[in-house]
Structure 1
Amino acid sequence: MSRLSRAADRIATGSSILTRRLFAGAAAWCARGRREDLTGWKAVLGILVRALVLGLGAYLAARIVRALPWLLWLLGALWLGAAWRASRKRPPPPAEEYPAGVPSGGDGEALRTLLLDLMGTGSAVHLRTVLQHLQRDPETASLTASWTIADLRSRLEAQNIPVHPKVKACGGGPTRGVRREDLAPSPAAPQGTSTTPSTAV
């Protein structure tokens, strides 16, 4: 592959990453408008308002670009630079950089505890609810701000916690989530000492 082809491939990969991040960020921002203390259409009214704000912003941006076409050159250059940087491979942060309560892939018991706390008396919890909690918590918000549902899912599955595509939980229709019955102790956790005395052979 030539140098030009590699550069084009890197920009294409970065553009795909940026697009996913933008859509995921917009979706997460809209989802944070949901009112947990309300039910019915009132609970999702905040989501609709935020979606309308995004739509209005996109419309105004399109009008500005049509009025000032030269802005496309500037925006294009900014996008290429951002895509180039986004496609750069970065090593995952070490486990000690993850604040308490964040599913880092190294503390399965803390993750299970977090999921059970979010379930309360329910039998399941949606990944959307878990992600919203992490992004609202001051201790984890800075780290998880750019996380998507897919990021959270990969960390759950790394701890052998199954993620089901259609889970019913309080606060919404069936969507990706975790069930209480799947939150058995981690396979790596030390087993309790048996109280039955062993018999010598």
Structure 2
Amino acid sequence: MSRLASTAGRLAAGSTTLARHRTARLTAWVARGRRTDLTGWRASLGCWARLLLLAFAVYLLWCVTSAAPNLMWLLTAAWLTAAWRAGKPTPQQALADTPAAPRDEAIRALLLDLMGEASAVHLRTVLAHLQEHGQWEGRTVSDLRAHLEALGIPVHLKVKAPGSKVPTRGVKRADLTPSPASAPVASTAPSTAA
């Protein structure tokens, strides 16, 4: 891969990560505006107020950049710098190409641990578990699916797991065949931190 292509790839990956993180944070901020002591449409007034505040902020930014178009250069430079930092390759991306990597076994052990006695686990359950332990913040089920598939762990479209009435994307126990030498890993292990 040429240097230009790798630079563009890093900026694209960083921009995607940055956009997802910003969107997740803004979505969470808007959602926190919902009042639990009220019901119906009154409970969501706080969310609507925050959405209006965001729309006003975007309008203000548009007005400022229209009045001073050179400010866009500064904003673009700030975004590219943040995207460059966010797009830095992680060691796990290098390990993703190695099917017998120890991290692969740790991820398989984590999935089996989350399954318990069940025959499958939903990806949203895995993602929720990781985020409860401070990992994969701002990531989506699609990110997790891509990560698992890169490690050679098959993800099925419709998996039925205990406690859920609707089949959704997940991993089946039959596809996870850990080697006998692999040691079980505690469910709080930072095995899939990105």
Name the TM-score class by shorter chain. 0.5 to 0.7
Confirm or deny: 8 A CA contact 2:111 2:126 kept in the other structure.
no
For 1:87 and 1:94, locate their aligned partners in 2 and report how far apart those are by CA, in whole Å: 14
Unaligned runs of 5+ in 2: 32-39, 96-101, 182-194
For 1:144 and 1:111, locate their aligned partners in 2 and report how far apart those are by CA, in whole Å: 15
The TM-score with structure 1 as length reference comes to 0.53
**Which residue is equivalent to 2:157?**
165
Q: How has the CA–CA distance of structure 1 residues 75 and 146 changed in structure 2, closer, same or farther, with 3 Å as cutoff?
A: same
For 1:130 and 1:22, locate their aligned partners in 2 and report how far apart those are by CA, in whole Å: 22
1:178 to 164, 171, 185: 171
**How does 1:70-81 map onto structure 2 within 5 Å?**
70=68, 71-81=71-81
For 1:175 and 1:148, locate their aligned partners in 2 and report how far apart those are by CA, in whole Å: 14
Amino acid at match of 2:180: A
Q: Choose between structure 1 and 2 for higher RCO, CA contacts under 8 A separated by at least 6 residues.
A: 2
SS of aligned partner of 2:104: coil
Q: How has the CA–CA distance of structure 1 residues 113 and 57 changed in structure 2, closer, same or farther, with 3 Å as cutoff?
A: farther
Q: RMSD between aligned alpha carbons?
A: 4.4
**Which residue is equivalent to 2:34?**
none
Matched, 1:189 2:180: yes
**Which residue is equivalent to 2:113?**
114
**Which residue is equivalent to 1:38?**
none
For 1:131 and 1:104, locate their aligned partners in 2 and report how far apart those are by CA, in whole Å: 17
**Which residue is equivalent to 1:133?**
129
More displaced 10-residue stretch of structure 1: 72-81 or 21-30: 21-30
SS of aligned partner of 1:162: coil
Q: How has the CA–CA distance of structure 1 residues 13 and 55 changed in structure 2, closer, same or farther, with 3 Å as cutoff?
A: farther
| Rg (Cα) greater in structure | 1
For 1:86 and 1:109, locate their aligned partners in 2 and report how far apart those are by CA, in whole Å: 27
**Which residue is equivalent to 1:195?**
none
Amino acid at match of 2:156: H
Unaligned runs of 5+ in 1: 34-41, 96-102, 191-201
For 1:116 and 1:157, locate their aligned partners in 2 and report how far apart those are by CA, in whole Å: 18
Amino acid at match of 1:166: K
Q: How has the CA–CA distance of structure 1 residues 130 and 54 changed in structure 2, closer, same or farther, with 3 Å as cutoff?
A: farther
